[in-house]
Structure 1
């Protein structure tokens, strides 16, 4: 099964303005109780959940400036509204073996309350998932410290990430 096929059979909704009404209608269950929804982003075969309290901004058509002697995971730096931040090539960080091209990949800015803003190079922009549709499992003992839990339904696995831990790891990693 190809990645495209795997991504098309999940129970997610791509985020765009046309889907907002659908999200509002479908998050209400019978009895007026709302389903909890969250956003995730995709890197290769992996889907990573965003925390509720993290600020995310999608970037379009930004120039990535090369940075000499940068770690392998750093594709360069960008400037957004005068703030210079590194661009993390998530494929290099995760060692997926896929050569990520800035032209076909998407950029998001993560603005975490405990860290400086950072841009991530990902494959697909954040999408909506209904958390109630997933079963939460504890991550295996040998998992990275930034992997909190694994959420599964019949067809999709989403990894719950502690982005604070992930950003700490990036800060001290020279791959």
Structure 2
């Protein structure tokens, strides 16, 4: 008579020792996903597997969409406006200060446009997998910081322009 002892189940990718989570943060989670012992092990997204394309397939099975149309419509005007303003400035049809104000305005609008463009995708992932749809990407903080600095610089430029503008002489009436 032989006894077989069942091996303990393979740990899920999200089961990272507490000391590793505190020390390594998101990198430890990424390494855990890469080293998943079972190809069917779950990743950090609830219900999604490690295999490529499965998140896309899971979203495709729902009635939600990732909002690609809104994403393109919200993000495309910025680079087009920046390129046309740079071209106009190069041809001499736009002053340097005007170009500076347009570029600072575009950078200041980065955060609100990013919110509009990414909101549908975040909500779709939240609804599909039962997770929070918030953005936790480290580069989002960089965008928010640059956006705030650009808004302050734009305000300073507008105030400086108003303060240094010479009053026009009144027209002489005969």
Question: TM-score interval w.r.t. the shorter chain?
Answer: under 0.3
Higher relative contact order (Cα pairs below 8 Å, separated by 6+ residues)? 1
**What TM-score does the superposition give when structure 2 sets the normalisation length?**
0.24
**What TM-score does the superposition give when structure 1 sets the normalisation length?**
0.24
Per residue, is there more strand in 1 or in 2?
A: 1
Per residue, is there more helix in 1 or in 2?
A: 2
